[in-house]
């Protein structure tokens, strides 16, 4: 008789949990998975996928304007928020169904209910208890609100996907990638957008040239970015919401969206009772193999607060299954992971920022180019692209690649292979360009910029 009901019980059916469950089942393990909301997790249900669909939708107003100088005459175009949301919901429902089907075809037992640890091997779910030899926590993270008076009147990205109508006046609180993305979404759909950030420049942690370039381009599009400014009080009025700001000014708006950070979904799960160590931010503490302080309990994805990206969670989930059930110990390399901000224009980067490269490697060479994309020479739009390479002076290895501009994520995804492999600047130079493209700039940069560089923004 088996000692436990399951070889593996996964709590959380997001990208990382689903991958881990399916791969473990492929190794012959008896696997169950629990999800209290919808299968697919943040990315599929209320994150990357629906966000990218809204980004696509918000681009059309500029596309229609640009089309005129390419000979197209477009009259009578109008936007219907409710139609967009309905179509988005249909696609999310389809993806939710696909994820369920994948689990079923892999032989993974799915229970759509909240699961809580009773002890290291026992899980309580849907009014009953089951046991498992190994437990995987993959519960993700959730957006947080601030504590100032009236903050509960605001929304987060979760609610933004389900607004009944498009607000005319929107304040986005935050300076990270989610804040910048939704500022572009609402602005592109015709709302008047103000973005507030407590720091000196948006996108903290990104290269300074990226941060400064994006801020300039977002302001060109009509987004009012106000730094060193936060909301201190929100009051509901007959006409919407009245905001008092830290600089003493006031704003009247229809919607406040908070994008000020996310917190691991670990509260009330029985982790402490099971002996699992969590950090000050409630993140599950794990080693390089995603193992917690309790040997049979593992954790992957945003609930560990290592590198909160969907592809990273998937990689961690796969590595966990390979390690535990495939008997192939696999640690995930969290260095030189490419990532993107689907702002307008988009941002994408891989590797070290200039500041980090100087701290780690000392002498570096910086190659940078700012130019008007070919498309906009005819559209007439005042939008610039910025590309940058950070190169170790001694070895000539390319340490980082950064881009703001059209198609940045598509370009950096491929360039990330070269950076990950340790390609040198000479190898970039030896690569023949594809012309005319923006991407060719990365292999035609020849002259480093002058030293010294400016002080980093905070």
Q: 46-67, pLDDT tens digit by residue?
A: 999 999 999 999 999 999 999 9
Question: In angstroms, what CA-CA distances link 31 with 4, 26, 120, 127?
Answer: 11, 10, 16, 19
Q: For residue 23, count CB atoms less than 10 angstroms from its CB and return exposed for 0-12, middle for 13-18, buried for 19 or more.
A: buried
pLDDT for 106 equals: 97
The closest of 306, 322, 297, 328 to 10, measured between CA atoms, is 297
pTM: 0.94
- pLDDT exceeds 60 at position 457: no
Mean pLDDT of 161-190: 97
Token duo for residue 104: 């079923």
Q: How many CB atoms lie within 10 A of CB 375?
A: 13
Can you name the residues that pair with 365 across neighbouring β-strands?
391
Mean pLDDT of the chain: 95
| pLDDT surpasses 90 at 1 | no
**Contact status, residue 318 vs residue 20, Cβ threshold 8 Å:** yes
Q: CA 205, CA 359: separation in Å to the nearest integer?
A: 14
Count Cβ atoms below 10 Å from residue 109 Cβ, excluding itself: 17
Region 181-205 average pLDDT: 97
Contact in structure between 368 and 349 (CB atoms under 8 Å): no
For the cut 70, the answer to whether the pLDDT of residue 236 exceeds it is yes
Choose among 5, 7, 4, 11: nearest CA to 29. Answer: 7
CA–CA separation, 93 and 182 (whole Å): 22
pLDDT of residue 388 exceeding 80 = yes
Tell me which DSSP letter residue 431 carries: S
DSSP state, residue 278: B
Domains of the chain by start residue, with CATH: 6-142+263-324 (3.50.50.60), 151-260 (3.50.50.60), 345-443 (3.30.390.30)
List pLDDT tens digits, range 401-416.
999 999 999 999 999 9
Tokens read off for 152: 């509960």
Q: Which residues are catalytic?
A: 435
If you average pLDDT over residues 373-378, what whole number do you get?
93
Cα dihedral 243, 246, 250, 253 sign: negative
Residue 280's pLDDT is 84
């Amino acid at each position: 008789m088996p000692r436990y009901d399951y070889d593996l019980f996964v709590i959380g059916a997001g990208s990382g949990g689903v991958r881990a469950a399916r791969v473990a089942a492929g190794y012959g393990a008896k696997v169950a998975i629990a999800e209290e909301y919808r299968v697919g997790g943040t990315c599929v249900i209320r994150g990357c996928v629906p966000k990218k669909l809204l980004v696509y939708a918000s681009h059309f107003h500029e596309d229609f304007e640009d089309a005129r100088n390419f000979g197209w005459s477009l009259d009578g175009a109008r936007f219907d928020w409710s139609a967009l949301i309905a179509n988005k919901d249909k696609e999310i429902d389809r993806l939710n169904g696909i994820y369920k089907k994948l689990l079923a075809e892999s032989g993974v037992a799915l229970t759509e209910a909240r699961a809580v640890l009773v002890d290291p091997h026992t899980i309580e779910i849907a009014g009953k208890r089951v046991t498992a030899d190994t437990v995987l926590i993959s519960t993700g993270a959730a957006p947080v609100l601030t504590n100032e008076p009236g903050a509960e009147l605001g929304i987060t990205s979760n609610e933004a996907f389900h607004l009944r109508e498009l607000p005319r006046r929107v304040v986005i609180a935050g300076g990270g990638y989610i804040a910048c993305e939704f500022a572009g979404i609402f602005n592109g759909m015709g709302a008047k957008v103000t973005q507030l950030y407590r720091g000196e420049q948006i996108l903290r942690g990104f290269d300074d040239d990226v941060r400064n370039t994006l801020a300039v381009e977002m302001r060109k599009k009509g987004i009012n970015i106000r730094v060193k400014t936060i909301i201190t009080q929100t009051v509901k009025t007959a006409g919407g919401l009245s905001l008092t700001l830290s600089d003493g000014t006031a704003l009247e708006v229809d919607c406040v969206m908070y994008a000020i950070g996310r917190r691991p979904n670990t509260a009330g799960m029985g982790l402490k009772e099971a002996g699992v160590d969590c950090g000050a931010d409630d993140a599950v503490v794990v080693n390089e193999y995603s193992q917690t302080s309790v040997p049979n309990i593992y954790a992957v994805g945003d609930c560990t607060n290592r590198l909160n990206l969907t592809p990273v969670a998937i990689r961690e989930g796969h590595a966990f299954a390979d390690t535990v059930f495939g008997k192939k110990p696999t640690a995930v390399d969290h260095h030189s992971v490419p990532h993107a901000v689907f702002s307008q224009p988009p941002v994408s980067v891989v590797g070290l920022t200039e500041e980090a490269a100087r701290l780690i490697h000392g002498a570096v060479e910086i190659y940078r180019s700012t130019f008007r994309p070919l498309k906009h020479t005819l559209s007439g739009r005042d939008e610039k692209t910025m590309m940058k390479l950070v190169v170790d002076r001694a070895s000539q290895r390319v340490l980082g690649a950064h881009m703001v501009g059209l198609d940045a994520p598509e370009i950096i995804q491929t360039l990330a292979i070269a950076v990950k492999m340790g390609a040198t600047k000479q190898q970039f130079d030896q690569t023949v360009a594809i012309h005319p493209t923006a991407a060719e700039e990365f292999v035609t940069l020849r002259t480093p910029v002058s030293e010294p560089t400016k002080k980093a923004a905070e």
